[in-house]
Chain A
Amino acid sequence: MSKMRYSRRAVLKGGAAAVAASTLPAPMVWAQEIKDITLRQFGTGVSNLNDVANKVKEDLGFTLEMTALDSDSVTQRAATQPDSFDIADIEYWICKKVWPTGNLQAMDTSKIANYDKIVGIFRDGKLTPESTIAQGTAPHTVGFVDGPGGTSFADEETGWMTLIPTIYNADTLGIRPDLIGRPINTWAELLNPEFKGKASILDISSIGIMDMAMVCEAMGEIQYGDKGNMTREEIDKTMAIFTEAKKNGQFRAFWKTFDESVNLMASGEVVIQSMWSPAITAVKSRGIECVYQPLKEGYRSWGGGIGLSSSLSGMELDAAYEYINWYLSGWVGGYLMRQGYYSAVPETSKNFMTENEWGYWFEGKPATDVITSPTGDILAQAGDTRDGGSFYDRMGSVACWNAVMDENQYMVRKWNEFIAS
């Protein structure tokens, strides 16, 4: 029940696929044997798209089996069942948890063709040379290890990457402007009594706690040392504020899966809640007004990447590198960016997007024509601009990255109490 199921998308229109196929370098060397290779990928559903598997079969020849799970199950599986996958599509904070188990192997960046074009966030941590690094598990802090067998994370680019970044975004609160009827500009609004019985937060502890922290800090109740690595005292205070709010009936429901968040918002049960970008898209595509509201405190950001199972070797390993290079070569990036995510190598994705799409999604310009999702739903009309603006506006105001704390065990228990209280 808790599986996310928004990866079941219709096959992409043939036209775009054909264009993509002709521009990609085809791997010819082991064309015959590669047909028999099957790589098993699992991940959080965000990027576990059947369209990607179909395209891999078409462009690279081998079979990619996709399994979509929720974040907790993904962590569990990566940590406890190393033989059940070849490729793990996980988030950076999950990597921090899973890497010490030795179930993943480091990747040689010299084999990654577009490595130099990967966005700075995933390399030295800086989007632009002037950027400051946000709190939490910033991707570059767990992105590198010392060598092929390295077990501890390195502080700088070493040539051995733990995850190849694939997808990331900046999250904020989703609101129903038609039901709220006034501007919202701070995280503190989530606990505003005005929205009593009409607010929601997600029931995934590691992400929910960050949204809570953003709210508590915005309210001026708590000043955190590092929201991504709270002390027990900070956790207690945060939970106390939210438990109080829960008892006062602030929340209509908590959601755990993508579909639930969409339904809560679309049905009007909830008017303000923590939300994910494609969920906003899903609400909008039903013709209901919904805004991914930029807030003055900044965004809570997350990033995912592909990791290789330590049991991969030989031809399968080669195929995996082939897959990674293909992943960064633009088609997937374009596909994801047209859903509102960002690609690790935006410039290659540009080739797979129209000028209008690139302008709308990446540059924050007003759309010159109708913007549609990869599945053909209309997301924006000509003249609309993206909530939050351009890539640099959005990723430049990240306040905190999704994280796993030293006090994670304690936090999890407190979270369980919060849900049960």
Chain B
Amino acid sequence: MLKNRHIQGWLQASPLTLILIGFLILPIITIVVVSFWQATEFSIIPAFTLENYEFLFGSPVTYKVFFATFKYAVITWALTLAIGFTVAYYLAFHIQNQTTQIALFLLCTIPFWTSNIIRMISWIPFLGRNGIANSMLQSWGVIDQPLEWLLYSDFSVILAFVHLYTLFMVVPIFNTMTRIDHSLIEAARDNGASGFQTLTHVILPLTKPGIMIGTIFVLTLVMGDFITVRFMSGSQKANVGRLISNDISLLQYPSAAATAVILLITVLIVIGILLRFVDIRKEL
């Protein structure tokens, strides 16, 4: 019976299927189910209610927070794309020696050997009112008063996001760039294209899948984040992740689940739209 190609195929796919069912599908179903339950201070009552969603959609804070989440995501995306593309371009086309290329690429990953949280928190003493940045600017005479917006503001949140997630843009873009056939670039040059024209007409279209993968990484990471927003804004700002984490710490699981469901749907829609632009499968 095992000879049957059909069964063999199913058997080969089954470990992954089981893992996905157990660790992805079931938890999501649970979250959806719980989001329709009632809760008291510390017990969850499995009785159907729409109250969680009513409260969520009924509160102006929800819309504000979703807007803030998109704001963080879009700004971070634009900045990481600009930096990530430039770094990847430099690595892929300006460094001719492959050893140097790999060495420099590894150099980019060094900060990632430390914990996410450490990299984030190290900004706090740097940006603080009496921090290194402010005292430096003051000693140079650039400013008289310390800049308050450096820390515990949208600025510090986005700064940390960009710092944390740029590599997720660099890696996929660099990867697709190294696969571009150099003869294509030569052909462009032979046909009289300027450097900029080559960039926009040859390199950019060919790196689209890399950009798209990087975009998905950055958007999902930023939209699902809560700890960066909490620390870098000194708990002053909120995104959807913080809404969920606050709910959880206050034992409001059904309410947290409802918010999570809405966030999940939102992120899926965003990714769905992105995939309309580029067929990743085909391009890879």
Q: Which residues of B contact A253 (CB under 8 A)?
A: 152, 233-236
- Interface stretch (choices B191-199, B211-219, B247-255, B267-275): B247-255
A28 adjacent to chain B (CB < 8 Å): no
Q: Pick the contact of A267 from B40, B64, B125, B247 — CB < 8 Å?
A: B125
* Assembled-state Cα–Cα distance A409/B253 (Å): 12
Q: Pick the contact of A419 from B41, B152, B242 — CB < 8 Å?
A: B242
B residues 122-164 touching A (CB-CB < 8 Å): 124-125, 128-131, 148, 151-152
A67 adjacent to chain B (CB < 8 Å): no
Q: Which residues of A contact B247 (CB under 8 A)?
A: 416
Residues A417 and B130 in contact in the complex (CB < 8 Å), given A80-B42, A253-B152? no
- Interface stretch (choices A71-79, A115-123, A279-287, A304-312): A71-79
B227 adjacent to chain A (CB < 8 Å): yes
Q: Which residues of B contact A413 (CB under 8 A)?
A: 55, 252, 255
* Assembled-state Cα–Cα distance A256/B242 (Å): 13
Q: Is the beta-carbon distance between A269 and B129 smaller than 8 angstroms?
A: yes
Residues A420 and B238 in contact in the complex (CB < 8 Å), given A1-B227, A72-B251, A268-B129? yes
Using an 8 Å CB-CB cutoff, how does the interface string of B153-179 with A read, 1 for contact, 0 for none? 000000000000000000000000000
Q: Is the beta-carbon distance between A72 and B227 smaller than 8 angstroms?
A: no
Interface size on A, residues (CB 8 A): 39
Q: Which residues of A contact B184 (CB under 8 A)?
A: none
Residues A75 and B251 in contact in the complex (CB < 8 Å), given A98-B42, A197-B148, A416-B246? yes
Residues A421 and B151 in contact in the complex (CB < 8 Å), given A73-B249, A268-B129? no
Interface size on B, residues (CB 8 A): 35
Q: Pick the contact of B243 from A255, A267, A416 — CB < 8 Å?
A: A416
Residues A408 and B238 in contact in the complex (CB < 8 Å), given A267-B125, A269-B129? no
Q: Pick the contact of B64 from A1, A254, A421 — CB < 8 Å?
A: A421
Question: Which A-chain residue is minimally distant from B148 (CB atoms)?
Answer: A197
A residues 386-407 touching B (CB-CB < 8 Å): 404
Q: Is the beta-carbon distance between B41 and A97 smaller than 8 angstroms?
A: yes
How far does the Cβ of B267 sit from chain A's closest Cβ, in whole Å? 19
Q: Is the beta-carbon distance between A254 and B40 smaller than 8 angstroms?
A: no
Residues A254 and B234 in contact in the complex (CB < 8 Å), given A79-B42, A197-B148, A409-B40? yes
Q: Which residues of B contact A70 (CB under 8 A)?
A: 249
**Best-buried of A2, A253, A256, A264 by chain B (most CB within 10 Å):** A253
A322 adjacent to chain B (CB < 8 Å): no
Question: Which A-chain residue is minimally distant from B239 (CB atoms)?
Answer: A420
Q: Pick the contact of B61 from A80, A98, A420 — CB < 8 Å?
A: A420
Q: Which residues of B contact A200 (CB under 8 A)?
A: 234
Q: Is the beta-carbon distance between B235 and A256 smaller than 8 angstroms?
A: yes
Question: Which B-chain residue is minimally distant from A70 (CB atoms)?
Answer: B249
Q: Which residues of A contact B21 (CB under 8 A)?
A: none
Q: Pick the contact of B250 from A267, A268, A269, A412 — CB < 8 Å?
A: A412
B11 adjacent to chain A (CB < 8 Å): no
B29 adjacent to chain A (CB < 8 Å): no
Q: Pick the contact of A420 from B130, B242, B249, B255 — CB < 8 Å?
A: B242
* Assembled-state Cα–Cα distance A409/B238 (Å): 20
Q: Which residues of B contact A255 (CB under 8 A)?
A: 234-235
Q: Is the beta-carbon distance between A419 and B246 smaller than 8 angstroms?
A: yes
Question: Which A-chain residue is minimally distant from B255 (CB atoms)?
Answer: A413
A252 adjacent to chain B (CB < 8 Å): yes
- In the assembled complex, 21 residue pairs joining A and B whose CB atoms fall closer than 8 Å, in A order, are A1-B117, A72-B250, A73-B249, A79-B41, A205-B250, A246-B236, A251-B236, A253-B236, A254-B236, A256-B230, A256-B235, A267-B125, A267-B131, A268-B128, A269-B151, A269-B234, A416-B61, A417-B61, A419-B242, A420-B238, A421-B64
Known: A264-B234, A267-B128. 10 other contacts (CB 8 A): A73-B249, A246-B236, A251-B236, A267-B129, A267-B130, A412-B250, A412-B252, A413-B255, A416-B252, A421-B238
Which residues on B are within 8 Å of A, measured CB to CB?
40-43, 55, 59, 61, 64-65, 117, 124-125, 128-131, 148, 151-152, 227, 230, 233-236, 238, 242-243, 246-247, 249-252, 255
